[in-house]
């Protein structure tokens, strides 16, 4: 459902969504996702179920939006703005993902909602890459949407593999490796 983006959103809607995001995050600290109901979320947010459904079709959509919003906030804090050519911005995005994924896979892990987390993060990465690629049309004729989709899945997949590896290398090292693998895709 609604993904928090740069779109103009009524302050009341933004506040209600924030309450829902915060309620879900608090509940996740105490319980597994599959044991949390829409009613639990609405009560924790001091809203009614009808208000919940005005904003999200189900708890999975709320989770996906929450994860995507939190990752997008981290990207914004780091001032990552990929313009289609700057390798340092690509690396900054990978490093942000290196910070975010282990945090999401902490105690109790995120396995229970991993597909939603994956989809939300890939959407944020894809959107950032696509915006940059659209500013610099490719001479090869490969659609920027295809390049952004390919690169975002590759970035997420490689970073996820890194995050799940015991005794993993430093984030800077894996970021350099991922850049070496993904840069050719973006330069086509």
* pLDDT of 83: 65
* pLDDT of 51: 96
* Closest by CA position to 99, among listed 123, 126, 121, 66: 121
- The alpha helices in the chain, defined as continuous H runs, are 11-30, 38-44, 49-55, 59-77, 87-104, 114-135, 144-163, 171-187
Distance CA 148, CA 105 (A): 25
Distance CA 150, CA 36 (A): 34
For the chain, how big is the Rg over CA atoms in Å? 18
Distance CA 177, CA 154 (A): 12
* pLDDT of 6: 44
* pLDDT of 177: 95
Q: Is 80 helix (H, G, I), strand (E, B) or coil?
A: coil
Show the domains of the chain with their CATH numbers: 8-56 (1.10.10.60), 60-187 (1.10.357)
The token pair at 157 is 């997949």
CB 153 within 8 A of CB 145: no
Render each residue's pLDDT in the chain as its tens digit; 188 residues.
Answer: 444 444 577 889 999 999 999 999 899 888 888 889 999 999 999 999 999 999 999 998 998 888 888 888 888 888 877 765 666 788 888 999 998 887 775 445 556 667 778 888 898 889 888 988 888 777 888 999 999 999 999 999 999 999 989 999 999 999 999 999 999 998 88
């Amino acid at each position: 459902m609604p993904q928090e983006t740069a779109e103009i959103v009524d302050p009341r809607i933004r506040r209600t969504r924030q309450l829902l995001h915060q309620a879900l995050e608090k509940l996740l600290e105490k319980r597994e996702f599959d044991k949390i109901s829409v009613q639990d979320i609405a009560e924790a947010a001091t809203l009614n179920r009808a208000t919940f459904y005005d904003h999200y079709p189900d708890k999975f959509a709320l989770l996906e939006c929450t994860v995507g919003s939190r990752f997008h906030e981290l990207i914004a804090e780091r001032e990552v703005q990929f313009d289609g050519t700057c390798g340092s911005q690509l690396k900054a995005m990978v490093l942000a993902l290196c910070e975010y994924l282990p945090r999401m896979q902490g105690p109790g892990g995120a396995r229970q909602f991993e597909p939603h987390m994956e989809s939300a993060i890939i959407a944020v990465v894809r959107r950032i890459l696509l915006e940059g690629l659209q500013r610099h049309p490719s001479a090869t004729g490969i659609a920027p949407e295809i390049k952004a989709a390919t690169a975002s899945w590759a970035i997420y997949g490689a970073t996820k593999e890194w995050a799940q590896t015991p005794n993993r290398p430093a984030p800077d090292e894996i970021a350099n490796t991922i850049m070496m693998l993904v840069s050719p895709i973006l330069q086509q």
